[in-house]
Amino acid sequence: MGAPNNLNLAQRRIGLTGGIATGKSTVADYLRDRYQLPILDADLYAREVVAVGSPVLQSIRDRYGASILLADGQLDRQKLGAIIFADPAERQWLEQQTHPAIRACFERDLAQLATAPTVVLVIPLLFEASLQAWVQEIWVVACPADQQRDRLIQRDRLSLSAAEQRLAAQWPLTQKCEQADIVIDNSHDRAFTYQQVDQALGILGNA
C-alpha cells in the first residue's frame, strides 16, 4: 500500500499487528476504552471498501460472478475467503483491488487526526505488505501457534484445513515477533495482557 502521504513525524503512531486470531482486537479495544486512543483498523476499512455500490465490490463481482454476493447484495466474505486462501494468485489479485482503497481510508482519517498525540493503526498485514514506514513503533500481539489455531477454528467456525490455509497466508508469528518493538503475550488472561499494554504505553496501570 506504500507509506501514507501525510506522515506526521511528531505524532506517536503505533502499528498494532500480529497473527490472525492472536488478540489484536482485544488490545485495540483496551487502548480505545482505557486510554481513549483513536484506533484506525485495516479490517474495518476492508469492509468499508467492499460496501454495496463500491467500485471494489463491482470488480469482485465481475471476476467471480453474482454468486459471490449475498441475497442483499453484500459480499459473501466466507465464499470469497474460500477462494483467495486456496489460491495465492487470487489473493494477490484481491489485494491489488483493496489495498489502494484501504490506504485512502487511512489517509483520510489520519488527516482528521493530525493533532492527536498518539494514534493506533491496526494492520494485520503490516509486515506482509511492507507497511513498517507507516508507523514509528510496532507492537505484535502473540500467542503459541496451537492456541492461535484453536482460537481461529472456534472464532470463525473453520475446519482444520481451512484454518491452516489462513495461517499459511501470513508470516509466522515468530518472524513478526523478531521484528517487533513490543511483543504483547496474549496467551493468558486479559489482566495479564492489559498489564503489558500499560507498560508498553509507559503508563502505570493505576494511573
- The answer to whether residues 69 and 137 belong to one domain is no
Task: Count the domains in the chain.
Answer: 2
The whole-number pLDDT of residue 10 equals: 82
- The answer to whether residues 80 and 129 belong to one domain is no
Last residue of a domain, one of 101, 124, 141: 101
- Please choose, from the candidates 72, 70, 74, 98, the residue with its C-alpha nearest in 3D space to the C-alpha of residue 84: 98
For residue 176 the three cell numbers come to 513478526
The whole-number pLDDT of residue 196 equals: 97
Weakly modelled stretches of the chain, pLDDT under 50: 204-207
- The answer to whether residues 169 and 132 belong to one domain is yes
- The answer to whether residues 30 and 49 belong to one domain is no
The whole-number pLDDT of residue 53 equals: 96
Look-up: residue for cell 518493538? Answer: 181
- The answer to whether residues 72 and 22 belong to one domain is no
Domain coverage including residue 140: 12-38+116-200
- The answer to whether residues 32 and 47 belong to one domain is no
Within a domain: residue 90?
Answer: yes
Pairing between β-strand 39-41 and β-strand 12-18 as defined by DSSP bridges: unpaired
Find out whether 193 and 185 touch, Cβ atoms under 8 Å: yes
- The answer to whether residues 95 and 144 belong to one domain is no
- The answer to whether residues 91 and 128 belong to one domain is no
Does the reported pTM lie above 0.85?
A: yes
